[in-house]
Amino acid sequence: MNIVITGASKGIGSELVKIFTQNEENTVIGIARSENLLKELNNECIKLNAKSHFKPIVLDLENFNAIKTDLKNQIEKHINHVDILINNAGFLINKSFSETQIDEINKTLNVNLISPAILTQTLLPMLEKSKVKHVVNISSMGGYQGSSKFPGLSFYSASKAALASLTECLAEELKGNQIHFNCLALGAVNTEMLKTAFPDYNAPLNPFEMAQFIYDFALNGYKFFNGKILPVSISTP
């Protein structure tokens, strides 16, 4: 099976890579900005499974043109189709609405909404070749309608709500292609991003535990769900 994961260098993303690569029949494309962290992750994967197939790709997901050209070409060097795409990369800034600068707003929307949209658009032909065809968008309870909202996270929450809505739209528009789109709205997990949002809060779940859930859902969720926004949370601070 061929899996593409963004935000692969740390947190939930790196745990997902390690879980998927334990099966030597999987080829995992991990995308992140940090070359050093991806190298460290590759070494960890090899320690866990000497026959693992992890293909790290260094890319800033705000470089939209590179997604369409360089990234696509690099992915096609390793695999000829994509079974699972997990849009996991995210950006959060904890700042009041009135003080947030335009460049900070743009970065939030670029990473959390526009880049997953462009990456999905770019990989559609490769997804269509798969028998699985599952796109899993990682959102947040902050973007889940009716959930608790917190000061300082307005643009983050709005961007994640937009990603959830995009998921519903793509499931409808591309149902004829039999590509399944689902969105997981995650609650509190002990990651660097959570510490940015809630410095003094200790979440009940660690990245590995959440990654294990996402792994199982990515493999099997498409059999039961399409176009769904699913809350995955026992805690929202």
What is the spatial distance between Cα 133 and Cα 127, in angstroms, rounded to a whole number?
5
Each residue of 31-66: pLDDT tens digit? 999 999 999 999 999 999 999 999 999 999 999 999
What interhelical angle do 207-220 and 11-21 show, nearest 10?
A: 60
What is the spatial distance between Cα 164 and Cα 64, in angstroms, rounded to a whole number?
20
The residues spanned by each domain of the chain are 2-232
Each residue of 180-196: pLDDT tens digit? 999 999 999 999 999 99
What is the spatial distance between Cα 180 and Cα 112, in angstroms, rounded to a whole number?
20
Instruction: Give this prediction's pTM.
Output: 0.97
For the domain 2-232, what is the CATH superfamily, name and number?
NAD(P)-binding Rossmann-like Domain (3.40.50.720)
